[in-house]
Structure 1
Amino acid sequence: MAERISLERDERGGVTVHVDGAPQSHVQLDDPTLLVFEYVQHLALAIDACSAPPPAPLAVTHVGGAGLTLPRWIEATRPGSPQIVLEPDAGLTELVRRELPLPRRHRIRVRPLDGLTGIRALGTDSADVLVTDAYAQGRIPAELSSAAYVNEVARVLKPEGTALWNLADEAGMRYVARVLATIRGVLPHVGLIATHEVLKRRRFGNSVVVASAVPLPEERLRRDVARANLPTGLRIGPDVDRLIAGAKPLDDGGMPSPPAPEARGWRIV
């Protein structure tokens, strides 16, 4: 485990969790509201835009745990929120719990299960928010983009709940287009948040899918995106139509995300 999982501490008191040589999470123990990775900022933005305002608690399910950055942020901004984290790597969870302890009186429960297995075990209409942010060997597992998984996500969400996916793709965004087409077949209201460079298909990078069975708060999303720390954009409505035009939805087998290029060729944060 020592070679595969490592913690890198910085001069500001932050810790980056590396898995298989790739940075997976950044944790700031003294200030869990400080989010460094751009896609984590986008996930947080979407949660606040689509949910009751803080400090209202939310029932949140996370597929993928790593350093538990987003659960820590939710606990800090919405104390007492019941959260379930599905993280199959028990060794990673043990290391993070030991070296980066969670706050006292938290309601974060980590289950050593993969995403599809764990989601199938959850109750119907049990989550206000369901976040999918899981990688294996640097790629999103195929099953987490499958039609079967999307249907399970929709079942677990409350009627007005929000589903989020952190997707990584090449400049052409062909993988993202197919995943969006799959999601929209089940959760008809979708949007995409990313930096301008990613949305313009100029580089490999992360984008956040926002999906729901009910209309998204488009005006609020646009306002919050415009205020983001990084140059960020939103694709929604006709823009999504154009992005997924001709994209074939995925079947129950899904499709893994493309492998990332060498680290020197793209930005992580």
Structure 2
Amino acid sequence: MTRFAHTALVFYSSAAVLVIELTALRLLAPYLGLSLETNTLVIGLALSAIAIGSWGGGRLADRFPTQRLLAPALAISGVTAAATPAVMRAAASGDGSTLLLAAMLMIGVPGALLSAVTPIVTKVRLTSLQDTGSVVGSLSGISTVGAIVGTVVTGFVLISRVSVSNILIGLGVSLVAIAVVVLVIDGRARTVPTLVVALVAAGGLTVAARGTCEIETTYHCAVVSSDPGNASLLTLELDGLRHSAVDLDDPTHLEFSYTQALGAVADLVLEDTRGTAPSVLHLGAGGMTLPRYLQEVHPQVASLVVEIDRGVAELNGTALGPSPDVELVVDDARLVLDDVEAGSQELVVGDAFGGISPPWHLTTVEAVRAIHRTLVPGGTYVANVIDRGPLAFATAETATVASVFAEVVVLADPPTIAGEDGGNLLILASDTPLDLAALASGLDGVGWEVLAGEALRDWYRGAPILTDEFAPVDQLITSRRG
């Protein structure tokens, strides 16, 4: 093989490791959630595989005919990559330990073998000790560039255009094709048919086990399903979690308790705005359940919806029926807050999630101040959060909001407030006194209660205020969970 061919092998194998890492995150998200813990797990597994492969590849290159090691490393990696979606989805039907073991194998095996390519090629290229520095340095640099290209192409191009299954099947085919070329060059073409059969079997398993993901967006695996008892009621699931329910025949129907509570809050805030054109800012789109409700019940309202995931936003004009009449901005909500005119919003609704966690940079005191800046005098901010006992995140976020707004209350069902059960809580804030009696009346049909005054302060007393410097949202939510 030529020097260029060896360099290309190092580049492509390193890029492939990062393709596998990023797609593994997408495969695990529907079962483990898109959280800091999931990211940490996958990154840790990938780095471990790289370390093992680099060490093991060097050891093998010192003991065996080096050129003959390349084809097996590429071939096994390709077959494994093509089978990864099928194996992961099958493992997800078992318990968490089975899924973890599958992730370790399907990330670790190809990650280690592909990482072994660099030390193997280094051994081939080293013909003189005088060239050690330049050979090792150049191949290390090429490996790093390959990893960067693999990351950028996967994150910005592939995942937004191609399904995860097809990405991994395509990667598997390319790696096996390269292995076939190497085998032919080495004079071992008789092993090619067996390799091709293994690849076809792996790809076939993946095609047969597509899973329940109907639509892969930039950030999520999205599934839209209809209610068996009401065909017009559609539910949007993102990464296995129910995010929104939309009734195509009745936009005023709010299926979930927390959306009913949001509707009650919106009714209270907007009841005196008829004859005007108030604006409501929604941070997070989901199925746009509340904007649809407002369009029907409060037609005078102008809704501005911010959603970072273009795929989720587009579902509202396709799979979830006609999109409501809103101004839609596809961007990061924290960045959009800087562009919203100061004092322009009557109500801001924080309902953005990645799994059960809101994006951490929307939870900090700096973000809350940016939200406060957009509100009209006496305007209202309501944030939807999910937590369970010991409510470490919910209390911290309440303390954070209370450090900016003069008046704060928390709405939830009694077991959730008491930390006996998990669920949604709404943090409601304004600089003017909130009508607690009207709130309680609006929540009668929901079964929620209002926590306010000294009882609320006792509830969140001692909780940290989240800042851009310190906002461990995922850890606070998962604290002491069984």
Does the alignment reach a TM-score above 0.5? Answer: yes
Report sequence identity in percent. 26
RMSD across aligned C-alpha pairs, in angstroms?
A: 2.1
User: d(CA) in 1 for partners of 2:281 and 2:472?
Assistant: 22
User: d(CA) in 1 for partners of 2:261 and 2:273?
Assistant: 16
SS at match of 1:123: coil
Q: Unaligned regions of 5+ residues in structure 2, if any? A: 1-162, 164-214
Aligned partner of 1:76 among 254, 272, 296: 296
User: d(CA) in 2 for partners of 1:148 and 1:206?
Assistant: 23
Name the residue aligned to 2:440: 222
User: Quick check: 2:348–2:381 contact (8 Å CA) kept in 1?
Assistant: yes
| Structure 1 residue 87 corresponds to structure 2 residue 303 | no
Name the residue aligned to 2:454: 238
Alpha-carbon offset, residue 261 of structure 1 = 11
| Structure 1 residue 7 corresponds to structure 2 residue 227 | no
SS at match of 1:98: coil
Instruction: Within 5 Å, give how 1:60-139 maps onto structure 2.
Output: 60-102=280-322, 107-139=325-357
> Which protein has the bigger strand share?
1
User: Quick check: 1:139–1:260 contact (8 Å CA) kept in 2?
Assistant: no
User: Quick check: 1:204–1:260 contact (8 Å CA) kept in 2?
Assistant: no
User: d(CA) in 1 for partners of 2:272 and 2:226?
Assistant: 33
Alpha-carbon offset, residue 220 of structure 1 = 1.3
Alpha-carbon offset, residue 256 of structure 1 = 2.1
CA deviation map 1:12-68 (0-9, x unaligned)? 120000111111100001101100111111111112223335866531000000110
Instruction: Within 5 Å, give how 1:1-269 maps onto structure 2.
Output: 2-3=215-216, 4-11=221-228, 12=230, 13-53=232-272, 57-102=277-322, 107-225=325-443, 227-228=444-445, 230-253=446-469, 254-257=471-474, 258-259=477-478
Instruction: Determine which structure has greater relative contact order: mean sequence separation of CA pairs < 8 Å that are 6+ residues apart, divided by chain length.
Output: 1
User: d(CA) in 2 for partners of 1:119 and 1:255?
Assistant: 22
Alpha-carbon offset, residue 100 of structure 1 = 2.4
Alpha-carbon offset, residue 164 of structure 1 = 0.3
SS at match of 1:192: strand
User: d(CA) in 1 for partners of 2:478 and 2:256?
Assistant: 19
SS at match of 2:352: coil
Alpha-carbon offset, residue 80 of structure 1 = 3.8
Moved over 4 A (4+): 53-57, 259-262
SS at match of 1:85: strand
Alpha-carbon offset, residue 136 of structure 1 = 1.1
User: Quick check: 2:356–2:386 contact (8 Å CA) kept in 1?
Assistant: no
Number of aligned residues: 259
CA deviation map 1:172-224 (0-9, x unaligned)? 21211111111111112000111122112111111001100111112211222
User: d(CA) in 1 for partners of 2:321 and 2:272?
Assistant: 27
User: d(CA) in 2 for partners of 1:40 and 1:259?
Assistant: 23
User: d(CA) in 2 for partners of 1:82 and 1:192?
Assistant: 26
**Cα gap change, 1:72/1:54 in structure 2, threshold over 3 Å: closer, same or farther?**
farther
Name the residue aligned to 2:206: none
Alpha-carbon offset, residue 141 of structure 1 = 1.1
TM normalised by structure 1 equals: 0.90
User: Quick check: 2:269–2:347 contact (8 Å CA) kept in 1?
Assistant: no
SS at match of 2:473: coil
**Cα gap change, 1:55/1:77 in structure 2, threshold over 3 Å: closer, same or farther?**
farther
> Which protein has the bigger helix share?
2
Name the residue aligned to 2:76: none
Which is higher, the Rg of structure 1 or of structure 2? 2
CA deviation map 1:48-91 (0-9, x unaligned)? 22333586653100000011001000101011421111101001
Which amino acid letter does the alignment assign opposite residue 52 of structure 1? E
CA deviation map 1:210-246 (0-9, x unaligned)? 1001111122112222x22x32111011121111111
Which amino acid letter does the alignment assign opposite residue 22 of structure 1? L
User: Quick check: 1:58–1:82 contact (8 Å CA) kept in 2?
Assistant: yes
Alpha-carbon offset, residue 260 of structure 1 = 11
User: Quick check: 1:163–1:212 contact (8 Å CA) kept in 2?
Assistant: yes
User: Quick check: 1:138–1:259 contact (8 Å CA) kept in 2?
Assistant: no
Which amino acid letter does the alignment assign opposite residue 86 of structure 1? V
TM normalised by structure 2 equals: 0.51
